[in-house]
Amino acid sequence: MINVTKTFLPPLEEYTEKLKSIWGTSWVTNQGPLAEELERELKEYLGVKNLLLVTNGTIALQIAIKALDLKGEIITTPYSYVATTTSILWENCTPVFCDIEDKTFCIDPDKIESCITEKTSAILATFVYGFPCDFKKIRSIADKHNLKIIYDGAQAFGVKVGGKSIFNFGDISTVSFHATKLFHTIEGGAIITDDDKLAEKIFLYRAFGHLDDDYFTIGINGRTSEFNAAMGLCNLTRVKDFITERRELSRLYKKFLSDLELKYPQIPENIEYNYSYFPVIFPTEEIMLDAKRKLAENEINPRRYFYPSLNKLPYVNGNNCPVSENIASRVLCLPLYSGLEQATVKLISQIVNKSFK
């Protein structure tokens, strides 16, 4: 089976070498030396001020909402993975969906102000497929209405805008290090902020709210393990190679699919992109579903990232978001990962071509 993604695993001996220090100290969790090392390496690699590892990207969002003391309504995107919305609900806030623009499929800043009420406390936007939102417009709106900004950067590791990490633009940014991501720690994630006091608060929130015998606040266990950190340290040195390989595979896809009536998200100018996914927008849902069926018959498993449009979830009272609903009904992410053979990209493209006939 060829899945939409495939987890990269470093040479076993390399990972085992990292594990030797764990056996030497018996320190397996609770912010061990490998976790500390990975935090330092990630801050340097990404060029961010404060980065705190957590157990996964969803916990990162939940802690971010809690740390900013958000209440009431949070304006968010309907076009994202479900964790973006459920994190809001889990923290007893109400998601208010703002439709997306049709170039990068990120939240449409020109529609945000119409969603603001006296109950609005924040904007939680997603870097969809790693593409940046319109930072300047969103910041202007947030400052005007005294709102906080969280960016869900689950898919945006390594992306830069104007030479600066994409994680530097909100009050808090979060990222996922799940095994399906460009950079992974098997399970994991991180919370990023420029605010030192906020970072101290997050530090306590992820560790039950205390340091040794001194208790300061509420908290949960959001710390990563040494085993996860070891995997991250092995993978971090390879990220540039991963991006280079994915860029070439994406170029091949577009070459092999060039004769078809397909739409792709537009990569903005002045961006260093990570090619985290290869999303394709078909002209109709029927053609997309036929392509998906034909691929499945050949043991190829693409994914409808992101479907359904989150305003249509059965447990939310979502408003209409026609652009998101339209894109979500026609999108298919084709397999893209390190080690995917060019011949397989050609085969997948040939099968997609057949769905148009």
Is residue 229 located within the same domain as residue 252?
no
Is residue 214 located within the same domain as residue 295?
no
148, β-bridge pairs: 122
Choose one of 236, 253, 274: the last residue of a domain. Answer: 236
Choose one of 182, 210, 236: the last residue of a domain. Answer: 236
For the cut 90, the answer to whether the pLDDT of residue 214 exceeds it is: yes
Tokens of 343: 């011949």
Q: How far is CA 271 from CA 25, 46, 131, 153, 165, in A?
A: 42, 14, 9, 15, 10
Q: What is the CATH number of the domain that holds 124?
A: 3.40.640.10
pLDDT, mean of residues 189-217: 97
Is residue 274 located within the same domain as residue 138?
no
pLDDT for res 74 = 98
Is residue 179 located within the same domain as residue 262?
no
How confident is residue 357, by pLDDT bands cut at 50, 70 and 90?
Answer: confident
Q: What is the pTM of this model?
A: 0.97
Tokens of 57: 């990207």
pLDDT for res 18 = 97
Rounded Cα gap, residues 179 and 183, in angstroms: 8
φ, ψ of residue 174 in degrees (nearest 5) = -125, 155
| All residues at 6 or more sequence positions from 215 whose CB lies less than 8 Å from its CB, including other chains | 209
Q: What is the CATH number of the domain that holds 317?
A: 3.90.1150.10
**Number of domains into which the chain is organized:** 2
Is residue 51 located within the same domain as residue 104?
yes
Burial (CB < 10 A; 0-12, 13-18, 19+), residue 69, is exposed
pLDDT in tens, 309-324: 999 999 999 999 999 9
Q: Where in the sequence is the domain holding 160, given as residue range(s)?
A: 2-236
Q: What percent of the chain has pLDDT over 70?
A: 100
pLDDT in tens, 105-134: 999 999 999 999 999 999 999 999 999 999
Is residue 244 located within the same domain as residue 107?
no
Q: What percent of the chain has pLDDT over 90?
A: 99
Tell me, rounded to whole angstroms, the distance of Cα 148 from its chain centroid.
19
pLDDT for res 346 = 98
pLDDT for res 161 = 97
pLDDT in tens, 25-82: 999 999 999 999 999 999 999 999 999 999 999 999 999 999 999 999 999 999 999 9
Please answer whether residues 177 and 156 qualify as being in contact, where contact means their C-beta atoms are separated by less than 8 angstroms. no
| All residues at 6 or more sequence positions from 136 whose CB lies less than 8 Å from its CB, including other chains | none
Please answer whether residues 275 and 250 qualify as being in contact, where contact means their C-beta atoms are separated by less than 8 angstroms. yes
Please answer whether residues 184 and 195 qualify as being in contact, where contact means their C-beta atoms are separated by less than 8 angstroms. no
Mean pLDDT of the chain: 97
Rounded Cα gap, residues 295 and 328, in angstroms: 19
Rounded Cα gap, residues 356 and 151, in angstroms: 37
How confident is residue 179, by pLDDT bands cut at 50, 70 and 90?
Answer: very high
Choose one of 236, 261, 283: the last residue of a domain. Answer: 236
Is residue 170 located within the same domain as residue 127?
yes
pLDDT, mean of residues 95-102: 98
Rounded Cα gap, residues 294 and 300, in angstroms: 9
